[in-house]
Amino acid sequence: MQEFRLPDPGEGLTEAEIVSWRVQPGDAVHVNDVLLEVETAKSLVELPSPFDGTVEALLVEPGQTVEVGTPIIRVSGGDAETVETTRATEQTIERDEDGGAVLVGYGVRGGAETRRRKPHTVREVPERDRPAPPASVPAAAAAPVIAKPPIRKLAKDLGVDLASLEGTGLAGEVTRDDVVRAAEQAKVFRNLDAPAWSGGREERVPVKGVRKVIAQAMVDSAQSAPHVSVFTDVDASRTMEFVKRLKASPDFADVKVSPLLIMAKAILWAIRRNPLVNSTFKGDEIVVHHYVNLGIAAATPRGLLVPNIKDAQDLSLLELAKALQQLTTTAREGRTQPAELANGTFTITNIGVFGMDTGTPILNPGETGIVALGTIRQKPWVVDGEVRPRWVTTVGGSFDHRAIDGDVISRFVADVASILEEPALLLD
């Protein structure tokens, strides 16, 4: 009879919450079969079995938070030598060939199958529940919408009213980007029905897991680092044109391309020109990082996560696009691992996807800068003395005033803005 104790899931964490069991008493288990899923302060982690045997008892209930080293499951018929070897091995997270979490010391058994959570899917809102398009303009007076059949089908599938869009195509036609952008900005407001209050006058939500870590980190950051924030409006019309050209390029055919990619590349360029923004204030010294682990703030079902792209400064534009796509997909599916959240040096928060123009973000602890990209929308803009419709966004950011002064902060944000105004400078 062997007891499996909760191992350290990595990054020196001391406790974890039992989310769900994948086995029940009486089940036969083999090496590397997933026993349970736990939630640490940083991520969801699947814990594999270190031995073969039969489950005798589950020693903790889902929802319980237990410390590392606590017995959590009892298995009969296990290989005692394997268990002792496992306990003696430092437990850290690695990846198997399928991208799953594997604890070092367990090994990957050839042909072993693991039970994985299915990716979260978004339920399509039925046509009858979608808000009706504005009726302020009579149908007879409305200009005809120019859009190809595939674009019309996409708009229908996403619940976007084509008549409400202003086409950005060469002939004024509605493009795929127009439809996708409208869908992304409208999805926050897609369901207009306000649900009824749940039972009782109050609801108490436990502060634990990711929410507990976020709360403490934000308090620590706000209280320890004197934040200074700056903003500038930017004509991002050429960025929108550049993104369109990249989407038409065969090299980017299978990669998601958005203005966030250009923003990320602009920040990497601006950091090289203003290296102090990519630093950590240590009290008696400032550690300037000559590499960029670029964090991307991601809203996920588990809360706000900031995974980062390691050594982003070494990536080409195509490699950066692939890394951004992998990072966001992994975060939304709840598969971000602790190592992917650690050691960030600079962060981007893309509040534009929620239709926001700008904000004053709080620094990720240990970092000196965070930049917010606002929504990109058409606005009147003066060009060569004439007012013209242009794609305009607001770039804002917060910085640790202990490490850098206003002149460096202003130059950095101005450099980012200059690339959004003329992204062709970044062609590689």
Residue-range domain boundaries for the chain: 2-103, 146-188, 209-426
Instruction: Write b or e for each residue in 107-141: b if 16 or more Cβ atoms lie within 10 A of its Cβ, otherwise e.
Output: bbeeebebeeeeeeeeeeeeeeebeeeeeeeeeee
Q: Which fold has domain 146-188?
A: Dihydrolipoamide Transferase (4.10.320)
Q: What is the pLDDT along the chain (428 residues), one digit of tens a residue?
A: 788 888 876 555 678 888 889 999 999 998 888 898 887 766 677 888 887 889 999 999 988 888 888 999 999 875 544 444 444 433 433 433 333 333 433 333 333 333 333 344 434 444 444 444 444 444 434 466 788 767 887 888 778 888 888 888 877 888 888 888 887 766 545 554 566 777 777 878 888 877 788 788 888 888 888 999 999 999 999 999 999 999 999 999 889 899 999 999 999 999 999 999 999 999 889 999 999 999 999 887 777 889 999 999 999 999 999 999 999 888 887 788 888 888 999 999 999 888 899 899 999 999 999 999 999 999 999 999 999 999 999 999 999 999 999 999 999 999 999 999 999 887 65
CA distance 103 to 32: 9
Q: Which helix (H) or strand (E) holds 181?
A: helix 176-186
Given the candidates 3.60.10.10, 3.40.50.280, 3.30.559.10, 3.90.1170.50, the CATH classification of the domain at 209-426 is 3.30.559.10
Q: Is 30 a catalytic residue?
A: no
**Which CATH number does the domain 2-103 belong to among 3.60.20.30, 2.60.40.1290, 2.40.50.100, 3.40.50.720?**
2.40.50.100
> How many C-beta neighbours within 10 Å does residue 197 have?
8
Among candidate residues 30, 227, 289, 401, the one labeled active-site is 401
Q: What are the residues whose beta carbons fall under 8 Å from the beta carbon of 326, sequence distance 6 or more?
A: none
Identify how many contiguous H helices and E strands the chain contains and give both numbers.
9, 20
